[in-house]
Structure 1
Amino acid sequence: MNHRFLSVVGLAVTMAFTAGCSANKPVADVEQEISAVAKVAPDTTEAVADSIPVWAPKKDSFNPSRTKQHDLLHTKLRVSFDWEKQYLNGIAELTLKPYFYPQNSLVLDAKGMDIHSVNLMNDYDATPLEYSYDSLQLIINLGKTYTRDQEYVIEVEYTAKPNELPSGGSDAITEDKGLYFINPLGDDPGKPRQIWTQGETEANSAWFPTIDTPNERMTQEVCITVDPKFTTLSNGSFVYSRQNADGTKTDYWKQELPHAPYLTMMAIGDFAVVNDKWRDKEVNYYVDPAYKGTAKKIFGNTPEMMEFFSQKLGVPYPWAKYSQVVVHDFVSGAMENTSASTFMEDVQLNERELLDKSWDGIIAHELFHQWFGDYVTTESWANLPLNESFANYSEYLWAEHKFGAEEATYLQLDEKEQYLQEAETKREPLIRYYYKDREDMFDSHSYAKGGRVLHMLRKYVGDDAWWASLNRYLTQNKFSPVEIAELRMAFEDVTGEDLMWFFDQWFMKPGHPELLVEDSYQNGQLSLHVVQQQDTAYVPVYRLPLKVAVWVNGKRTEYPIVINKADQTFTFPVTTAPQLVLFDAEQQLLGVVEHDKTDEELVYQFRNVDQLAPKLEALTTLDEKLANPEVMSIMQQALRDNFWYVRSTAINVLSSLEKEKAAVVEEQIRQIAQNDKKGSVRADAILALAGWYGNKYSNLYEKVMNDSSYQVAAAGILAYSSTGATDVGAKLAQFDDTGNEDIALALSSYYALQGGVEKQDWFMEKIKQSKGSNLYYLLQSYGAYLASYSETNTPEAIALLSDIAQNNNLYYVRLAAFQALMVMSERPEVKEILEKVKNNEKDKRLIEMYEQL
C-alpha cells in the first residue's frame, strides 16, 4: 500500500507492450512511476537555483502523537443504509473516561455528518447534552467534570454522507472518505452492489464518531442492518443474525480485544464465503461467487503463514478469527483491518491466471500487520514504519521460508530499486515528525526502505536475537501504541548492545550510503579503499558493519570490516592476486555501491558466487560485451540457471544482439520459448525470437497464442502482430473477447496503431470492463488509437473519457483519461471538458500535474 508521467502518444504503445507481457504490476508501482517523474521537473529547476539537492528533506510542521484527553474504552455501532442517497444512518454508543486530568467536555472526530442528537446514557435513560459541530469535530459539553476513574457513556445519533466530503488520499490509499457504496442502485450489470469501509489513516470518523487517532484503543460491537440477501463482515466474532419485522436482518459482530479506531471495518455484499482453518480458529475467504472455486488456491497458504509467523514470533495469532474479503473499486491494494483484511479485486484469479500469478506477498503483508500494526500499533503517523516496514519485510520472510532465498532476494532487489527511484527526488528520515500531510508517510521510504533496513538489522544481530527481540517487542507492548524507541529498547534488552547508532542513522536520518570502492593488490597485500560519497550536509557518515569476500586460487575467504569514516582503507594478507573481491559479501546493504570490476572478474563472479544480486550484476554490466566469448559463455550458462529471473535477465540482455550474431543462442532460446517451466521466461524468449527473426517463427507464435499461460499467449500475440502477415488482424480478432488483462493489453498495443476504426467498440468495451493499473495502461493505448484514427474521436468516446477523468476513484486512472482527452484538445468541447476536469479536481497530485501541462 503501494509511477512515470507518460505522454499519450509517445509512450502508450511501449507501456502496453511491456504491461502485456510481464508479471502483474502492483497498483503502488504505477502510482510511484507517475509520482516520481511528475516531481522531477519543477523541483530540479528550483534546486539548481538554490544549490540544494532536489531530494533534500523539507522542513514542514512538527507532528507529534495526539494528546490523550479521554480514553475511548468501547464503541457500539448500530448502522443501516440508504443505498439511493449513499448515506449511513447510525447510532454510536461510546464508553469513555478521562485519560488522566479531569474533563468536562469531549471532542469527537465526525466528518461531514448530520448530527441528530447527543445523549448521556445511564442504562436506558438518556439525558440530552449540549454540543457544537463544525462538520469535522463534535464538541460535547458533558454537563459535569469527570475524573480518570469515572466512566461515562455517550450516544450519538447521526447520518454519515461520505460522498459529500472533499477527497484526499495518498499513493497507498487513493481516497479517504471512509465509507464506499459500489453500484448502489444496481444499474451496472457488470459490477456487484457492495458497501465497504477503509479507515486508514483517519477516515473511519467519516462514518462513525470516534477519537480517530492511532494511539487510541477500544473494544467494539457492530450491528449491521441490511437486506437478507447480503453477507456482512466486520472485526472479531460473528455473534448472531436477527430477522427484523420490516424484512431486513441485523448481523451482530463483536471485537473483544482492543484495537485502534482506524482498524474498524465493514464489508457488505453478495460474497461467496470459503471456509478454512488454522489451529482452532476460523479462516475465511470472502470472494465474488465466480471465484469460489479458486479462493483456496489464491488464499490457501494463509493457515501455513499464520503458523509460520506464530512459531517464529513466539506470539500466536492473537485475534478471534481471520477473514480476507475481496471488494470492488478498492482504494488501496489491501488493508489490515483487525481480524478481517480487505483486498482489491485484482487478487481474484481464475485457474489459468493462477499459472502466472500469485498474491502471496500481499497476503503475507496484511497478515503480518495483525501483529505489527494491530496487536502493537504506531502511536503516530510519524512512526508509520513500525507498521509498514515490518509488513513489507514479512513478504521477504515468507518467500524465504516457502520459496527459497533467491525468490526472497528477488523481492528485495525490487524493493531497493523502488526506494532508490523515489530517493532521486525525496529523502526523508524513516521516522519523520516533520511532514506536510500524514498521507505523505505512505511512500517507498516507509515500505521499501524500511523493509531493507529491518533486513540489515536482522543480519547484524543474527537470527536468534532477531526473533527474540521481536517477541520481546510484541509481548511488552501488546495492545499498546509505540514509537521507535520501544523497538530499539527491545533489541538492546535482548542483545545487551547499545544500538542507538543503528537506529539513529537508519531510522532518524535521511538518505543512504553512496560508496566508491576500489581494490588493489601489491606484495601479498589486498587493499580496499572505501569512500562515503553522500552529501554529509544532509546525510550522515554511516557506520557500516559488513563482510568482504575474497577469492584466491578458487577459495573464498570472508573478512568482517566496519566502515565508520568518510575515507578508509582496509588491508588483508593474501598469497596472490585475488580473482575476485566482493564487497558486502552478504549483499544486505541498502545503498549505492560503485565498485568497478574487469570483464574477467565479472565472468568469475557469475560462475563462482551463488547469490542472485552478484549474478545479475555480472549479466547486466556485461551487456555490451557480448562479442567476448567468455561473456557469451556465461550468458548461455545463465539461460540454464535454476532461478527463473536469471534466465529472464539473460534473454533480455541477449535480445540486443544483431540477428546474425544471435544464431549462437537461437536454438537455446527457441527451446526456452517452448519448454521453460516459467511462463514469463517463455514470454521473454518468444519476444526475443520475434525481435531477431520476424516471421521465421510464425508457426510458433501462432501456437503459443493458445498457451495455457496468459503471459505467453500475450507474447505470442505481440510476436505474431510483428510478422506483417496478412492475416494478423483475423488471428488477433479471435482473442477480442478473452477476459484477461495481459491479452487485452497485448491486443491494444497492436490496435492502437493498426487496428482500424472498426476497433473503436472493442476499445470502449474493454475500457468499461477494466480497472486499476490495467485500465491505466489501456487508456494509454487508447490515446494513441484516438491520435491514429481521428474518425474515432466521437462524442461517445469523449463522454466515456470525460466520465473517467472526473469520477474514477483512482487518481492515476483519471490522469490517463485526461491524457487521452488531450489528443482531441483542439476541439472546443474537449477543451472545455479539460478545463472543467482541471478546475474540479481535488487531488493535490493531479492538480500539480495539470498545472504543468
Structure 2
Amino acid sequence: MNHRFLSIVGLVAAMTFTGGCGVFKPRGTGEAGAEKVIVGKTAPALADALPAWAPKKHAFNPSRTREHDLLHTTLRVSFDWEKQYLHGLAELTLKPYFYPQRQLTLDAKGMDIHSVHLMQGFDGTALEYKYDGQKLTIDLGKEYTRDEKYKLEIDYTAKPNELASGGSDAITEDKGLYFINPLGEEPNKPQQIWTQGETEASSAWFPTIDAPNERMTQDIYINIDPKYTTLSNGTFVYSRQNADGTKTDYWKQEKPHAPYLAMLAIGEFAVVEDKWRDLEVNYYVEPAYESTARKVFGNTPEMMEFFSQKLGVDYPWAKYAQVVVRDFVSGAMENTSASTFMEDLQLNEREVLDKSWDGIIAHELFHQWFGDLVTTESWANLPLNEAFANYSEYLWAEHKYGADEAAYLHLEELGQYLDEAQTKREPLIRYHYKDREDMFDSHSYAKGGRVLHMLRKIVGDDAWWASLNLYLTRNKYSDVEVAELRMAFEDVTGHDLMWFFDQWFMKPGHPELLVTQRYNKGQLQLNVQQLQDTTYSPVYRLPLQIAIWAEGKKQLHPVVVEKANQTFTFDVAAQPQLVLFDAEQQLLGTVEHEKTEEELLFQFRHAGHLAPKLDALSELQEQVSRPQVQSIYKEALKDDYWAVRSTALSILSRLKEGQVASLEPTIKQMAVNDEKGSVRAEAILALAGWGGGKYQDLFRQAMNDSSYQVAAAAILGYASTGAADAKQRMAQFEDESNEEVVLALATIYAVQAGPEKYDWFLQKLKSASSGELYYLLQSFGAYLASNSETNTPEVIAILGGIAKEHRLYYVRAAAYQALMVMSENPEVERLMQEIKAQEKDERLLQMYEM
C-alpha cells in the first residue's frame, strides 16, 4: 500500500499553508521536496533528558495463533445502496491447523448474523454460535482433526457505516466497505462501491480469519445492476443476467492469498485494455478519463517485464488490473491482481504534461511479489511488504529515467524519514506497538527502502537479485518474518549478515556522524565520530567508500566505520581538492562534514552524484554575491537535470533581488522556455517574489501556458503586481476545475477578495476532491477571517457538516480549523463542542483539546 497523501499543487499549496499531513507527490509536480534534500544535522540527546523520539514501551504483538486453516472462501453478495448494506452468503472451507478443534472463531465486524450452517453437499445443519459484534464464535458440533475439512455457510448483512471509526495516517478509515454517492445526490460524483482490506478490515464485509498469516483461494459472485462494471481478484469467469433485471458477475481467485488482499470495485468504469505477454492488463477509470488512462498507466507492462526479468520470478497472478476510485482512504492498495488507486491518478490532457504517477504504480505492482506472493506473517514485520514496495520506486526510476531521478527520489525518501525521526524512532521490525496501524509510517516505507538500498550496495547487484529470487521462490504463497529474508541473502552470498539485519531492522535510530579531516606531509587523516545516543541506537558498522580528489585525480578508498571514534589515514600526494565521505551516497543517516568554499565549488562540479551537487548549492547560498560562487548557480540554472535547476531557483528566490541581478535574465528565460513545467513555474514565482511588476507581460503570457502548474504560478505572479486588470484576469479562470488553478485563485482571494467571491468559494467547496478540499479549506478559513459578513448560517452549516461527516479525518480537521475563525459566535462555539463530542478519532480529539 502507498499511504502518503497527495500534495495537490506543489508550490502553490505551499503558499497556502504549511502543515500536518505527510505528502505523496507525483513525480515532477514541483519542487516542494527540493529543500529536504540536504541532510539535516541532528544534535545528540542530552544525557539527563528523555529525547522526544525515544522509543515508546508497548505490549508485545505476536503473529496470530493459527488454530484453523482457512482454505477457500466463496462469497455471494448484493447491495442495498440506500442503507449502505451488503447482503452476503459466505461459504468457508476450513480445517484445524494442527491440534483438534471443536470451536471456530471468525472475525466479523459490525454485522447481522442471520444463520450459520454446517454444509454436507447441499444439506445444511444449523450450528450454535455467539456473536459480540466483532467475533463470531461457532460450535462445530464435533471435534475435527487436521485431516478433516469442513464447510460452513454464513448468511449475514454487513453494515460498515455502523462501525466505530478507526484508521491511521496511512489508511484513514477501517470500515472495509465503502459506498460512494450511494443515492446519486452528488452531481459531480459517480456512484461506486469499493473495498479496502488492509490491515484487518476485510472482516467488515465478509466473515473470515482476518490475519496476514492466513491464506485462501476465493470465488466472488457479485449481484448488481447491469449498468455497473465490476472488478475483483483473479479471473473474470462470466456475467449472468438474472430474471429480476440484475446481473451476477463471477470472479475466481485460484491461487491462495491473504484475506486482507480480497477486493471488489463496482462503478461505471471505462476499461482500457492492455497486455503483458499473454496476460490481460487493464485500467479501470471514469469514462471522462478513458483517453488519458494509457498515458498514466501505460508503463505498467514494461514494469511487469522489468521486475519479472530482474527477479527471475514472472508476475505470479492471472491478470493485472488497476482501478481508480473516488474518496479512497489511502494512496493506493495492492489487492492481489487488482490494485486500487486514489482519484488523483485521473488526469486530463494538460495535467499529464506535468505529472507522472509511475512511482505509485511501480509501488503497488512490486507488492504483487512482495506482500501478495510472499506476505508478512504479522504487522510487526510490515517492512517485508512496504520497504520493498518503496524501494521498487527507486529501482524503476533508475531503470527508466536514470541515476539522477533515482537519486532525487532517494533524497526525498531519506528526508521524509529524517523528518519523522525528529519525534519518532522505532525498530523497523517492531513487535511492541500500540496499534498495528502505527506500523504504517515513514520507518516501514522510507527508512525501509533506504535500508534495502544499503543492503544492495553491500552485497552487489548480482547477489541482490539472486537473493530476492531465492526469497520469493522459497517462500511463495506463504507468510514470512525478517529472518527468512536474512537467510536468503546469507544462503546466496555465504556471508553472515546478522550484524546488518540486527542494527538496521531490529534497532531504532540511525547514525549521526561528525567527519573532520587534517592533511599533513602527504597524509590525510579522516576522523569519524558516531554521535547518536547509544542508549537507544547501536554503534553502527558502516561499510562505505571515501572519494579523494588531488591534483585533478580521484581515488576511491573502501573503509568500514565500526567504532564510536575512528581515524582513517590515506596517502595523498598533494593537498586534497575534495574529500567526499560516503562516495556512493548510500548511507542512511546524517553526516556533518565542514568544507571550505573552494571545496564546495569543486564538489558541485566534480562529485558526480546529485546529493553533493545540491548540498553544495545549499551551503554556498550565503556567498552567492561572490562571482566565483555565482558562477556555479549560473551552471546550475542550465543543468541537464531539472531538480538541480529547481533547487538553484528555490535557493535564489529567497535572496534579495539585488543579490541575483546578474542571474535574473537567465531566470526570465527559464520562466518561458524551460522544458520542465514545474521549473518554469518556480522561475515565475521567483520573479514575482522580487517584485514582478516589470514582468507583467511575461506573467500574462504564462497564464496561457500548456502546463497548469505554470498557469497557476503566473496567476499568483500577476496578482502580486497590482495590475489594474488583475481582478478581471483572475475571473477568467474561475470556471476552471484544475486543482492547481483553483488553489492559486483561492490563495489570492483569501487575502484580496471581499464578499463578491463568497459564491465562488462555496461552489468550489462543493465540487472539490478530497485532497483539494483539504487545501481549499485553509484558504477559505483565511477568507472568512477577513470577511466577517460572509460568516453566514449557510457557511457554518457547510463547515459543520464537513467537520462531522467527511470520511477523511484530515479534511474534518481542516473544516474544524475554518470554524475556529468564527468561534466567538455562540452558535459556532456550540457546534464545535458537538463536533468534539461526536468525533471518535483520537488524532483529532488530541488536536481539538489543544
Q: Same fold (TM over 0.5)?
A: yes
CA RMSD, Structure 1 to Structure 2 (Å): 2.1
Q: Contact 1:542/1:563 (CA < 8 Å) preserved in 2?
A: yes
Task: Supply the AA of the counterpart residue of 2:295.
Answer: K
- State how 1:331-410 maps to structure 2 within 5 Å: 331-410=329-408
The one-character-per-residue Cα deviations of 1:164-191 (angstroms, maximum 9, x if unpaired) are 0001111110000000000101111111
Q: Contact 1:686/1:701 (CA < 8 Å) preserved in 2?
A: yes
- State how 1:253-272 maps to structure 2 within 5 Å: 253-272=251-270
The CA distance in 1 between the partners of 2:228 and 2:211, in whole Å, is 31
The CA distance in 1 between the partners of 2:598 and 2:4, in whole Å, is 37
> Equivalent residue for 2:38?
none
- Say which SS state the counterpart of residue 849 (structure 2) adopts: helix
The one-character-per-residue Cα deviations of 1:750-797 (angstroms, maximum 9, x if unpaired) are 100112111111111111111233211111111100001111111111
Offset at residue 610 of structure 1 (A):
1.6
The one-character-per-residue Cα deviations of 1:9-28 (angstroms, maximum 9, x if unpaired) are xx998642899xxx98479x
Offset at residue 803 of structure 1 (A):
0.9
> Equivalent residue for 2:752?
754
**Structure 2 residue corresponding to 1:484, chosen from 482, 485, 507:** 482
The two structures have a TM-score, normalised by structure 1, of 0.95
- Say which SS state the counterpart of residue 804 (structure 2) adopts: helix
The one-character-per-residue Cα deviations of 1:653-698 (angstroms, maximum 9, x if unpaired) are 1223322332201111111111000001101111111222421010
> Equivalent residue for 1:41?
none
**Structure 1 residue corresponding to 2:159, chosen from 151, 158, 161:** 161
> Equivalent residue for 1:470?
468
Task: Supply the AA of the counterpart residue of 1:200.
Answer: E
Asked if 1:325 is matched to 2:323, the reply is: yes
The CA distance in 2 between the partners of 1:115 and 1:13, in whole Å, is 47
In structure 2, the CA distance between the partners of 1:629 and 1:420, relative to structure 1 (3 Å rule), is: same
> Equivalent residue for 1:739?
737
Asked if 1:94 is matched to 2:92, the reply is: yes
The CA distance in 2 between the partners of 1:442 and 1:666, in whole Å, is 44
- State how 1:244-259 maps to structure 2 within 5 Å: 244-259=242-257
**Structure 1 residue corresponding to 2:452, chosen from 454, 461, 464:** 454
The CA distance in 2 between the partners of 1:526 and 1:284, in whole Å, is 59
Q: Contact 1:366/1:391 (CA < 8 Å) preserved in 2?
A: yes
- State how 1:219-618 maps to structure 2 within 5 Å: 219-618=217-616
In structure 2, the CA distance between the partners of 1:710 and 1:347, relative to structure 1 (3 Å rule), is: same
Task: Supply the AA of the counterpart residue of 1:738.
Answer: E
- Say which SS state the counterpart of residue 308 (structure 1) adopts: helix
> Equivalent residue for 2:37?
none
Structure 1 unaligned runs (5+)? 5-10, 34-43
- Say which SS state the counterpart of residue 775 (structure 1) adopts: helix
- Say which SS state the counterpart of residue 253 (structure 1) adopts: strand
The CA distance in 2 between the partners of 1:585 and 1:164, in whole Å, is 56
- Say which SS state the counterpart of residue 448 (structure 1) adopts: helix
Offset at residue 839 of structure 1 (A):
1.2
The CA distance in 2 between the partners of 1:275 and 1:12, in whole Å, is 35
- Say which SS state the counterpart of residue 624 (structure 1) adopts: helix
Offset at residue 523 of structure 1 (A):
1.0
The CA distance in 1 between the partners of 2:18 and 2:636, in whole Å, is 22
The CA distance in 2 between the partners of 1:164 and 1:444, in whole Å, is 31
Offset at residue 201 of structure 1 (A):
0.2
- Say which SS state the counterpart of residue 112 (structure 2) adopts: strand
- Say which SS state the counterpart of residue 623 (structure 2) adopts: coil
- Say which SS state the counterpart of residue 845 (structure 2) adopts: helix
> Equivalent residue for 2:36?
none
**Structure 2 residue corresponding to 1:777, chosen from 753, 775, 778:** 775
Asked if 1:641 is matched to 2:635, the reply is: no
The CA distance in 2 between the partners of 1:340 and 1:3, in whole Å, is 20
Q: Contact 1:12/1:777 (CA < 8 Å) preserved in 2?
A: no
> Equivalent residue for 2:196?
198
Task: Supply the AA of the counterpart residue of 2:93.
Answer: T
The one-character-per-residue Cα deviations of 1:510-558 (angstroms, maximum 9, x if unpaired) are 0000000001100110000000000000000000000000000011100
Asked if 1:180 is matched to 2:139, the reply is: no
> Equivalent residue for 1:687?
685
Q: Contact 2:26/2:357 (CA < 8 Å) preserved in 1?
A: no
The CA distance in 2 between the partners of 1:3 and 1:790, in whole Å, is 35
Stretches (4+) displaced over 6 A: 47-50
In structure 2, the CA distance between the partners of 1:145 and 1:13, relative to structure 1 (3 Å rule), is: closer
Segment of structure 1 superposing worse, 281-290 or 692-701: 692-701
The CA distance in 1 between the partners of 2:624 and 2:527, in whole Å, is 30
The CA distance in 2 between the partners of 1:3 and 1:369, in whole Å, is 16
Q: Contact 1:17/1:718 (CA < 8 Å) preserved in 2?
A: no
Q: Contact 1:110/1:205 (CA < 8 Å) preserved in 2?
A: yes
The CA distance in 1 between the partners of 2:685 and 2:413, in whole Å, is 26
The CA distance in 1 between the partners of 2:350 and 2:232, in whole Å, is 32
Q: Contact 2:625/2:660 (CA < 8 Å) preserved in 1?
A: no
The one-character-per-residue Cα deviations of 1:598-657 (angstroms, maximum 9, x if unpaired) are 111000100111210000000011111112211100000001100001001111212233
Q: Contact 2:17/2:778 (CA < 8 Å) preserved in 1?
A: no
Q: Contact 2:384/2:481 (CA < 8 Å) preserved in 1?
A: yes
> Equivalent residue for 2:16?
16
Offset at residue 419 of structure 1 (A):
0.4
- State how 1:7-156 maps to structure 2 within 5 Å: 15-16=15-16, 25=25, 51-156=49-154
**Structure 2 residue corresponding to 1:798, chosen from 775, 787, 796:** 796
**Structure 1 residue corresponding to 2:787, chosen from 789, 792, 809:** 789
Q: Contact 2:116/2:155 (CA < 8 Å) preserved in 1?
A: yes
Q: Contact 2:543/2:559 (CA < 8 Å) preserved in 1?
A: yes
Task: Supply the AA of the counterpart residue of 1:794.
Answer: T
Q: Contact 1:295/1:348 (CA < 8 Å) preserved in 2?
A: yes
Q: Contact 2:796/2:828 (CA < 8 Å) preserved in 1?
A: yes
Q: Contact 2:64/2:213 (CA < 8 Å) preserved in 1?
A: yes
The CA distance in 1 between the partners of 2:556 and 2:286, in whole Å, is 53
The two structures have a TM-score, normalised by structure 2, of 0.96
> Equivalent residue for 2:670?
672
- State how 1:770-849 maps to structure 2 within 5 Å: 770-849=768-847
> Equivalent residue for 1:7?
none
The CA distance in 1 between the partners of 2:780 and 2:702, in whole Å, is 26
The CA distance in 2 between the partners of 1:484 and 1:741, in whole Å, is 42
Paired residues in the alignment total: 831
The CA distance in 2 between the partners of 1:511 and 1:14, in whole Å, is 29
The CA distance in 1 between the partners of 2:455 and 2:550, in whole Å, is 30
**Structure 2 residue corresponding to 1:727, chosen from 705, 725, 728:** 725
The CA distance in 2 between the partners of 1:687 and 1:251, in whole Å, is 52
In structure 2, the CA distance between the partners of 1:15 and 1:847, relative to structure 1 (3 Å rule), is: farther
> Equivalent residue for 2:3?
2
The CA distance in 2 between the partners of 1:268 and 1:353, in whole Å, is 26
- Say which SS state the counterpart of residue 500 (structure 2) adopts: helix
The CA distance in 2 between the partners of 1:462 and 1:87, in whole Å, is 53
Offset at residue 348 of structure 1 (A):
0.5
Q: Contact 1:17/1:745 (CA < 8 Å) preserved in 2?
A: no
Task: Supply the AA of the counterpart residue of 1:253.
Answer: W
The one-character-per-residue Cα deviations of 1:219-248 (angstroms, maximum 9, x if unpaired) are 000000001111100000000011111111
Task: Supply the AA of the counterpart residue of 1:754.
Answer: Q
Q: Contact 1:24/1:357 (CA < 8 Å) preserved in 2?
A: no
Task: Supply the AA of the counterpart residue of 1:322.
Answer: Y
The CA distance in 1 between the partners of 2:372 and 2:185, in whole Å, is 37
The CA distance in 1 between the partners of 2:845 and 2:485, in whole Å, is 39
Matched-pair identity in %:
72
